[in-house]
Structure 1
Amino acid sequence: MKKHYDTVSVAIEKLRKLGFTEDFNLKENCLAHPPDMIKADDFIIVDVYRYEGNSDPADEAAVYAIESFSGIKGILVTGYGISSDSASEEILKKLNIRE
């Protein structure tokens, strides 16, 4: 069951306790998981949490709980809305959200 967390930092803390311990970064059409580059087709998005800044649209962020088909679990934090970039949107469209 998905829960909503009050802030990005609380979401990250709770997801880490659930085993999402790796920090993912976007790079080209892959998720960077040092030292590897993992293709988007090898991951699913388990949950997504979106946050909007109270006074500044630039404070919008999304926290993704991601799991690879090989069992690697981690977190990806991106901006969205006015804060997003085209590379982030492109790779996130390729990822599947678990039903």
Structure 2
Amino acid sequence: MHTTKLPELHPAAAALTAFREVNGEGRTYTVSEAPGGRGSIVRSLNRARAVGYVKPPERDCYAVLDVLNGDDEPVQEFAIPTARAFRWWYRHLRLRVERDDA
């Protein structure tokens, strides 16, 4: 079990999304609304932290997990440290690549 302490979740947290660099280009992903509200985000973060799939924000990471408010504006971020961790988040949140023309 990983013991990395995460920052307290922002009070306005309502959804999650991800961003990562692929071949020198930024790639954004769809927004995943939290059906159970802020509590479901906390549970997801706790599960991911326990297995090392999320860390406090850091400069060098595989991807960034963005916490969004009710207006889908970023209010906080966490680090997704590895490709394996990203695949877990991708499945868990049912993320898809955001189309450039969307």
TM-score, structure 2 normalization: 0.30
TM-score, structure 1 normalization: 0.31
Higher strand share: 1
Higher helix share: 1
